[in-house]
Amino acid sequence: MRKLRYSLAINEALHQMMESDESVFLIGQGVKSPWYVGNTTRGLLEKFGPERVIDTPVSENAITGVAVGAAIAGMRPIIVHPRMDFMLYAFDPIINEAANWHYMCGGRSHVPVVIWGIINRGGEQAAQHSQALQAMFAHVPGLKVVMPSNPHDAKGLLISAVYDDNPVIYIDDRWLYNFEEKVPEDIYFTPIGKGKIVKEGKDVTIVATSYMTIEAMKATQKLSKEGIEVELIDLRSLKPIDKDLIFESVKKTGRLIIADAAWKTCGISAEIAALVVENVFEYLKAPIKRVTLPDIPAPASRVLERVYYPNESDIMQAVREVIENAL
């Protein structure tokens, strides 16, 4: 099987969805600019034209509203926000309209829109261009939230999101764009709401999201040489969460670490910790540890960035602590 980079797996999914369904279109700022979206949209404008690959002015609220309206009317739009930070301007069409529409219409109307947010980190981009806001969207009833960590799921989850009749927040991370692995050429689906055991183990469970899954895998390989066998779960879907997968793993290992490269307070890591304590607390052998961003804005200094963003070393330290500190 051929290998494909993460960004090109997204690109292939977009091509295949637009080829197979004329109701699918892409809209957003910078859809024809590598500076905005890398090579994820390569060749789309040339192949499908400006009526289906719509490059817009900078107006996040307006263009998201257009996409939501088109979805209500029967289209399957993909609205891209090249910097997730500025999705905040689109809270009204996302939360008040897209998330609520199906419920308010008594289930008789759907909003099959994919809202694609891209996280940019590092590179001295600072506080307004580096934010990971997945927990904000996962908080909202009516929205599904996915975060692929690898090329295979980047393609499969995007295809699943396009075919879902509900609004899906699809979040990728540009730190993953050059990561490469085997990806099937055909159309396939990665199920929304299902996590994946990346590596089985007996000593501690790590639940990771997005690029932290890659960091956790590096940590897992090194910890194995120390005799610590980690069970690594790639969460993939933040809403709905695969609770049963997490619970069964914690029952087996008795220890839990959550690695999520977003703020700690009221984040996804807090939600997972609460679910475990509420449902399988009696199986825990040690306190739960969370590896997250500190509760401060992203710095503009490259030196400070090296401290700000968690990595494999932080995960390894957390694993050693839960192994040593039994309840």
**Sequential pLDDT tens for the chain (327 residues):** 899 999 999 999 999 999 999 999 999 999 988 878 989 999 999 999 999 999 999 999 999 999 999 999 999 999 999 999 999 999 999 999 999 999 999 999 999 999 999 999 888 788 899 999 999 999 999 999 999 999 999 999 999 999 999 999 999 999 999 999 999 999 999 999 999 999 999 999 999 999 999 999 999 999 999 999 999 999 999 999 999 999 999 999 999 999 999 999 999 999 999 999 999 999 999 999 999 999 999 999 999 999 999 999 999 999 999 998 866
For residue 32, the model assigns a pLDDT of: 85
Of 83, 86, 134, the C-alpha closest to 269 is 134
Instruction: Single out the catalytic residue among 15, 110, 129, 139.
Output: 129
| Per-residue CA distances from 174 to 85, 120, 123 (Å) | 14, 6, 11
Last residue of a domain, one of 138, 156, 182: 182
For residue 238, the model assigns a pLDDT of: 98
Identify whether residues 292 and 159 lie together within a single domain.
no
Identify whether residues 237 and 137 lie together within a single domain.
no
Verify whether residue 102 is a known catalytic residue.
no
Identify whether residues 20 and 156 lie together within a single domain.
yes
Give the separation between CA 206 and CA 314, rounded to whole angstroms: 12
Last residue of a domain, one of 182, 209, 224: 182
Supply the CATH number for residue 43's domain.
Answer: 3.40.50.970
Identify whether residues 203 and 108 lie together within a single domain.
no
Identify whether residues 49 and 118 lie together within a single domain.
yes
Identify whether residues 164 and 210 lie together within a single domain.
no
Residue pair 271/245 in contact by the 8 Å Cβ criterion: no
191 lies in a domain? no
Residue 148 φ then ψ, to 5°: -70, 145
Dihedral angle, C-alpha 41, 216, 181, 197, nearest 10 ° = -110
For residue 8, the model assigns a pLDDT of: 97
Question: Where would I find the H helices in 24-113?
Answer: 34-37, 44-48, 60-72, 91, 99-104
For residue 327, the model assigns a pLDDT of: 62
Identify whether residues 136 and 215 lie together within a single domain.
no
Helix (H, G, I), strand (E, B) or coil at 153: helix
Residue pair 159/189 in contact by the 8 Å Cβ criterion: yes
Encoded tokens for 7: 């960004």
Of 132, 219, 220, the C-alpha closest to 174 is 132
For residue 121, the model assigns a pLDDT of: 87
Identify whether residues 274 and 130 lie together within a single domain.
no
Helix (H, G, I), strand (E, B) or coil at 298: coil
Instruction: Single out the catalytic residue among 60, 271, 305, 312.
Output: 60
For residue 14, the model assigns a pLDDT of: 98
For residue 114, the model assigns a pLDDT of: 98
Identify whether residues 215 and 271 lie together within a single domain.
yes
If one counts the domains in the chain, the total is: 2
Question: What H or E segment, with its residue span, contains residue 7?
Answer: helix 6-20
State the residue range of the domain holding 227: 196-324
Identify whether residues 100 and 244 lie together within a single domain.
no
Encoded tokens for 91: 């809270």
CB proximity list for 221: less than 8 A, separation 6 or greater: none
Residue pair 13/154 in contact by the 8 Å Cβ criterion: yes
Q: Is 182 exposed, middle or buried (0-12, 13-18, 19+ CB in 10 A)?
A: exposed
Give the separation between CA 89 and CA 85, rounded to whole angstroms: 9
203 lies in a domain? yes
Verify whether residue 139 is a known catalytic residue.
no
| Per-residue CA distances from 102 to 67, 112, 154, 191 (Å) | 16, 10, 26, 21
DSSP code of residue 95? I
